[in-house]
Amino acid sequence: MRILIANWTRRRVGGAETYLDRVMPLLAARRHILAYAFETDEPADRTPVALPEGCVPLALTGDAAFDRIRAWAPDVVYVHGLVNPDLERRLLESAPAVLFAHAYYGTCISGQKTHLLPFVQPCDRVFGPACLALFYPRRCGGLSPLTMVRDYARQNARNALLPQYAAVMTHSEHMSREFTRHGAAGGRVRHSTYLRSDAEVVAVPSRLLAARRDGDPWHLVFVGRMDRLKGGACLLDALPGTHAAIRRPLRVTFAGDGPARANWQRRAGDIAAANPEITVEFAGWLHRPEVVALLDTADLLVVPSVWPEPYGLVGPEAGRRGVPAVAFDTGGIKEWLVDGLNGCLAPGRRPAAAGLADALIRCLRSLSSSDALRFGALSRVKDEDDNRHVDALLTILEDAASRRLGAAPGAAS
């Protein structure tokens, strides 16, 4: 097949680009012909998405870009989110298209699916005009009326395009339900998990109980973008209560960057100053091998997202290294995190530091007496494989491409 992959940026910015870095070489290895369409080559300080040999880059600038796309003649377009809905509409006119819904694309004004008032709470509403009435009372986004109108118009345009897709693919049952109830692709919404770790599943975790010494600090790790809804502040606020209960030093490493980093660093400094047995480090953005090396030193991954996390890929990644996790029970988290098996869940209906601290305490007490959670983490991911995801993806792409040809769904292209 000739597969046109469309994404808003040519640079590695978030999960979508990491996914494409992983999946495009696998598609190319199966002799599919690829092109990569993008709106912008920014931000300049991020490395470009690695294109497989023979993959054609196509900048979506002006009518000439769509002339090039028509000349390239894709069998199917695989969309990963665009900023401009007009560009998305024109792509949908060029060939049958499949959307990979990495986040709440066209189903929420802010894309955060979270109310901030009267308290932080995941939102389960279907997107529509009534969301405008809740925008300010529930603090669904910013305070600017211009931002509200602009964001609603963009998401409304995206929402109107969802039925035009031949299929929508997601990485969790939670996101499949979200897009099905929004009428995406006539109900042709499928999910297939994938892993983005560069590391193989280890046979034995490196932090087994027998290898620990009494008094060793517990090493907690956060990996991800640092913004308010990722819950770093909530994790920091949970540390004093956790330390008071377990009476062991805590070492916490934050890997990543983002707009909340300076705020979190100030709060971490205050907490460490009040309690010398709590150490907090900020490692910045790490490359994949560096993340794997960090996880190999960790006792526990913490995913403190207070929004309904679409899936939380970092959790299964940590599981490959035998690292259990603590997270709020929001979004797709419980599809990989089973309380008491590979970590502990904190209440997600109203995520708060007290609930997170309780889950941390339960997890660390278990780890202090047993390796069950470590081996439970391994057991949850041992059968995961990127190629299985690509098998499922190609079935969906081939079905989509067949619609243009008038062939029966499921026929090979």
pLDDT at 215: 82
Cβ–Cβ < 8 Å for 295, 318 = yes
Number of independent structural domains in the chain: 2
Token look-up 């620990």 returns 212
Q: Are residues 222 and 191 in the same domain?
A: no
pLDDT at 407: 43
H helical segments located in 73-209: 85-94, 130-134, 145-161, 173-180
Q: Which amino acid is at 249?
A: P
Quick one: which of 73, 51, 62 has its CA closest to 4?
A: 73
Q: Are residues 176 and 226 in the same domain?
A: no
Q: Are residues 51 and 32 in the same domain?
A: yes
Residue 15 pLDDT grade (very low, low, confident, very high; cuts 50, 70, 90): confident
Q: Are residues 45 and 187 in the same domain?
A: yes
pLDDT tens-digit readout, 45-99:
888 999 999 999 999 998 999 999 999 999 999 999 999 999 999 999 999 999 9
User: Would you say residue 202 lies in a domain?
Assistant: no
Cβ–Cβ < 8 Å for 381, 319 = yes
Question: What span, in angstroms and rounded, lies between the C-alpha atoms of 356 and 280?
Answer: 17
pLDDT tens-digit readout, 328-342:
999 999 999 999 999
Mean pLDDT of 288-300: 94
Q: Are residues 213 and 323 in the same domain?
A: yes
Quick one: which of 245, 194, 208 has its CA closest to 383?
A: 194
Q: Are residues 298 and 154 in the same domain?
A: no
- Parent domain of 351: 209-379
Q: Are residues 184 and 296 in the same domain?
A: no
pLDDT tens-digit readout, 295-307:
999 999 999 999 9
Any idea what DSSP says for residue 283?
Answer: E
User: Would you say residue 128 lies in a domain?
Assistant: no
Q: Are residues 257 and 396 in the same domain?
A: no
User: Would you say residue 122 lies in a domain?
Assistant: no
User: Would you say residue 370 lies in a domain?
Assistant: yes
Q: Are residues 46 and 178 in the same domain?
A: yes
Question: Can you give the CATH number for the domain in which 264 is found?
Answer: 3.40.50.2000
Question: What span, in angstroms and rounded, lies between the C-alpha atoms of 134 and 146?
Answer: 16
CA distances from 94 to 65, 105, 284, 400, 401 (A): 12, 21, 41, 13, 12
Cβ–Cβ < 8 Å for 324, 373 = yes
Q: Are residues 358 and 396 in the same domain?
A: no
How many other C-beta atoms lie within 10 A of the C-beta of residue 143?
Answer: 9
Q: Are residues 88 and 220 in the same domain?
A: no
The end-to-end CA distance of the chain, in Å, is 6
CA distances from 241 to 138, 236, 237, 248, 355 (A): 29, 10, 8, 12, 11
Question: What span, in angstroms and rounded, lies between the C-alpha atoms of 395 and 17?
Answer: 22
Q: Which residues contact 191 (CB under 8 A, 6 or more apart)?
A: 169, 170, 171, 172, 173, 175, 176
H/E segment holding residue 2: strand 2-9
Question: What span, in angstroms and rounded, lies between the C-alpha atoms of 260 and 229?
Answer: 10
User: Would you say residue 134 lies in a domain?
Assistant: no
User: Would you say residue 138 lies in a domain?
Assistant: no
User: Would you say residue 133 lies in a domain?
Assistant: no
How many other C-beta atoms lie within 10 A of the C-beta of residue 5?
Answer: 24
User: Would you say residue 240 lies in a domain?
Assistant: yes
Cβ–Cβ < 8 Å for 331, 172 = yes
Cβ–Cβ < 8 Å for 259, 48 = no
Q: Are residues 188 and 56 in the same domain?
A: yes
pLDDT at 365: 97
CA distances from 176 to 83, 95, 190, 311, 337 (A): 22, 23, 6, 11, 18
Selection from 136-145, 210-219, 329-338 with the highest mean pLDDT? 329-338
* 144: three-class secondary structure by DSSP: coil
pLDDT at 362: 98
Mean pLDDT of 382-410: 77
